[in-house]
Amino acid sequence: MALPLSYNWRNLFVRKTTTLLTCLVIATVVGVFTWLVGFAGALNRSLSYANDAHKLIVLKQGATSETNSAILPEDYNKLSQVQDVAVNPKTGEPLRSPEMIVQVSLPRRRDNGTTFANVAVRGVTDAAFGVHRNVKLLGKGFSSGSMEVIVGEQAAKQFGGVQIGDTINLGYSGNRGYKVVGYFSANGGPMETEIWGPLTTLMNSYNRNMYSSVNVLLNDKADPDKVAKFVQGPSVDLNAQTEPAYWYDQSKNIRIYLGIVGGLVSIMCVAAIFAIANTMYATVAGRTREFAMLRTIGFSKNQILLSVVIEAVFLALLGGAMGCIACEAWLVLAGNTKDMFGATTFTTMAFEIKLTPYMVVGALLLVAGVAVLGALPPAVRASRVHVIDALREP
Amino acid sequence: MSAADIVATSVRKVYHKDRIEIPVLDGLSLKIDAGEFVVLMGPSGSGKSTLLHLIGGLDSPTSGSIRVGEYNLERMTERELTAWRSRHVGFIFQMYHLVPVLTAAQNVELPLLLFKMSSAERRERVATALKVVGLADRTDHRPNQLSGGQEQRVAIARAIVTDPDVILADEPTGDLDAKTSEEILALLNLLNSEFNKTILMVTHDPRAASHGQRVVHLEKGVLEREERNPARPAMAAS
């Protein structure tokens, strides 16, 4: 049997200051790590809800996003040549949704309106609700031709002035008041950060006569890549991407950001390894007689080594628990939503970050691994202590 | 209750420092009967502690042989010696070497963790050992809550809790006042006379030496002379 765990646990509190400082280093690593994983998870969750592979997003040739795309009505008409388009079972109309997108600057609620974010306002027709299958009205929708809008759940949570009953100033001169009449969900997908209104009214308000994009829902038998190729061909000559491909490109900036933060976490992990090694070296140096006594009464080198490693793991788990609590506290106090720009749209994608039990377990396993790496060199030293010399130490 | 005899034959131990040979034991031979209480005396550097460490399997002789009971120590690997120590030898140190974060009972329990034993049996053994040393009411005290004498008693309880054949004590009263020293020595006498333990004790203190049945004087790594204590005749080994 190994040394009792109470021995390792209590030894942590012999050097309280060192233990606390090491715990703080580990807590920082875990706090950032869990936040990062939460953010990445939220992003993936959000994008996974915008992964309708049978939906094509059609833009002007050369455009990289809806915001810099302009499709003339005659180009839109060419899309009638596209085969394999799904039809609305009620009306028999092909599910093609011409849409216009503009931006409006809205105050962030999390900092009481100190900062603003660009939020997409999408003009749509009734066809949009058939094409975007994950969009669900929560209550009342807007009426065609009215000055009414509905707001995505995430947008309503994150931004001010877009709650039911509020009026948003839209239009070319920002002087057209649109009343918020309802909310919609998009299963947590990127559209949940948008505001939707009637296409024709919004186009008039913005003096537009071109669409930003056309969203086309294909039937189940269609080969989306083949249809996209046809759209890009000479007869239609527009750019087409499936929805997953489109949003993968749009989230490029966020993935770069996550990569940078991930790199920082890796560097912090290395720092934590050194912090643990330093702490455990100091611990071992102060307890050579104790280890010599344990060797004398019959504990093996491996048992001593394991004991030091377990002590370091306890230290790391203590710090890890502090980090998880700090992360959860941060999410509760500072808000668990985060928004970032899309790669080319300059409109905001918002996410809800959640600290799940899996993330906590993952973070604790990470720091336990860090602890083992950091503790091994001092643990080897402890196990190889020269028994007779150590027993003679004053 | 068990005891083992100790036979050291032509033991030589040489240390090396800066390529210079420093002989500490120079062909020493010594026989200790099972159940005997022998005291090792001699000036500093005479090789007392080195002999104690060799008999305890903490170090190996440069040449010669050491047998404790049925075990020839010079033929055993480091791993075998470690396992042997845990079962057959109890160590008592001058500085007690208790683990400060553990209670008296937990300190005494440490050697038992190396045995396959139920926690109930461990608790029973710990309680018995602490009762033998007179600390049954101090089980939950940490070392810093005990006096020096009490700490040494806990260390003795730790040494005897596995019921070893041999107890090796290195200056066990060196850090204690005269009264407490007498109590500790009386306890060692009890372990020898009542529990029939073979005891080898290193000391500088002639009063402490008077508790042994035989006093062996070392000088420059060889056995200079030995004296039997008429007040404490040797008992027959069981």
Residue-wise pLDDT tens digits, B116-152: 889 999 999 999 999 999 999 999 999 999 999 999 9
- Give pLDDT tens digits for A339-371: 655 544 545 666 677 788 998 999 999 999 999
| Chain-chain contact of A298 with B85 (C-beta, under 8 angstroms) | yes
CB contact under 8 A, A387 and B106: no
What's the pLDDT at A65? 83
Q: Given this structure, which CATH class describes domain B6-96+166-228?
A: alpha beta
**CA distance to partner chain B, nearest, from residue A14 (Å):** 8
CB contact under 8 A, B56 and A296: yes
For residues B223 and B27, the answer to whether their CB atoms sit within 8 Å is no
Segment 121-160 of chain B within 8 Å of chain A by CB = 158
Domain residue spans of chain B: 6-96+166-228
> Residue holding tokens 């100790």?
B6
Q: What kind and span of H or E run contains A154? A: helix A153-158
Question: What pLDDT, on a 0 to 100 scale, did the predictor assign at position B124?
Answer: 96
Domain chopping of chain A, boundaries: 5-48+252-392, 55-250
Whole-model pTM? 0.74
Tokens for A39, please give them. Answer: 């953010």
The mean pLDDT value of chain B amounts to 91
The pLDDT of B109-117, averaged and rounded, is 91
List the structure tokens of A41: 């998870």
Give the residues across from A10 on adjacent strands: none
Using the predicted structure, report yes or no on whether residue B235 has a pLDDT greater than 80.
no
Contact B95, B40 (CB under 8 A): no
Each of the 394 residues of chain A gets a pLDDT tens digit; together they read: 577 788 888 888 877 888 898 899 899 888 888 888 887 777 777 676 677 889 999 999 988 888 889 999 999 999 999 889 999 888 889 999 999 999 888 888 877 888 888 888 999 999 999 999 889 999 889 998 899 999 999 889 888 899 999 999 999 888 899 999 999 998 877 788 899 999 999 999 999 999 999 999 999 999 999 999 999 999 899 999 998 888 788 777 778 888 888 898 899 889 989 989 998 999 899 899 999 999 999 999 999 999 999 999 999 999 999 999 998 888 888 766 666 555 445 456 666 777 889 989 999 999 999 999 999 999 999 999 999 999 887 7
The residue type of A150 is I
* CB-CB contact of B61 with B28 (8 Å): no
The pLDDT score that the predictor gives to residue A343 is 46
Write b or e for each residue in A35-44: b if 16 or more Cβ atoms lie within 10 A of its Cβ, otherwise e.
bbbbbbbbbe
State the nearest Cα–Cα gap between A293 and chain B, in angstroms.
Answer: 6
Residues in chain B with CB shorter than 8 Å from the CB of A289 are 95, 97
Nearest to A300 among B79, B91, B170 (CB): B79
B58 touches chain A (CB under 8 A): yes
The whole-number pLDDT of residue B237 equals 47
Q: From the list B82, B91, B101, which residue is nearest A7 (CB)?
A: B101
A5 vs B contacts (CB less than 8 Å): none
Query: Among partner residues A7, A292, A295, which is closest to B99 by beta-carbon distance?
Result: A7
Measure in Å the smallest separation between the Cα of B171 and chain A Cα atoms: 12
Residues in chain A with CB shorter than 8 Å from the CB of B174 are none
Best to test chain A binding among B77, B80, B110 (most A CBs inside 10 Å):
B110
Residues of B in contact with A296 (CB under 8 A): 56, 58, 85, 91
* A10, A298, A300 member nearest B101 (Cβ): A10
- pLDDT value for B238: 43
Closest CA to A42 of A245, A215, A156, A192: A192
End-to-end CA distance of chain B: 9
CA distance A67 to A149: 19
Question: Residue A172's pLDDT is what?
Answer: 87
Is A388 close to B58, i.e. CB distance below 8 A? yes
Residue A189 three-state SS: coil
